[in-house]
Amino acid sequence: MARPKKLLDAATKNLTIEEKEAKLEEEKALYNYERINFKNYPTALLKQAKKEWDRIAKILGELPLSELDQQTLIRYCNYSYLYAQATADLTLEGSVIEGRANPLVNIMNSYSKELKAATSELGLTINSRLRITTPKSEAIDDDPFAKMFGDANA
């Protein structure tokens, strides 16, 4: 099975100039698709999941998500709501009912698996974001330790 592709910024392999240019061309194609329109709620989105839709719209930033990813995002929002609801119900009912495990525990596990899959596909987990891009290190302008040890950049 082939490894998942990484964006150029996240790649650690030493690439030739030609390979870098080819990879950049591939990445440009990610942004050729229509971006998700968060102003309108999709019909498949549960009414109670609209709050999560609005929340996630604010934090997605520059991830290359398009209308093609809409169904995965709907699935994420719906399962996020359903998981929260099951958690609230389990808190009220308890994890054991009449000496047996509450069926909500199994339901929560199922929702959790669905959430994990959707978050990974959308780049919402740390590991999946690292496959998309590497975090930019912020330069410290006035680093006293760098000056003390004679760093030319300080």
H or E stretch at 96: strand 96-97
Task: Say how far apart CA 35 and CA 43 lie, in whole Å.
Answer: 18
Task: Say how far apart CA 83 and CA 42 lie, in whole Å.
Answer: 20
pLDDT bin (cut points 50, 70, 90) of residue 135 is very low
How many CB atoms are located within 10 Å of the residue 75 CB? 19
Q: What is the domain partition of the chain in residue ranges? A: 37-131
* Unique residue bearing structure tokens 């998981």: 83
* pLDDT tens-place string over residues 42-95: 999 999 999 999 999 888 866 777 888 899 999 999 999 999 999 999 999 999
Would you state the structure tokens that stand for residue 124, as one six-digit string? 């919402």
* pLDDT tens-place string over residues 15-41: 788 777 777 766 666 566 678 888 899
Helix 50-59 and helix 70-93: axis angle, to 10°? 120
Task: Say how far apart CA 79 and CA 73 lie, in whole Å.
Answer: 10
Predicted local confidence at residue 19, as pLDDT: 74
How many CB atoms are located within 10 Å of the residue 45 CB? 19
Average model confidence (pLDDT) across the chain:
78
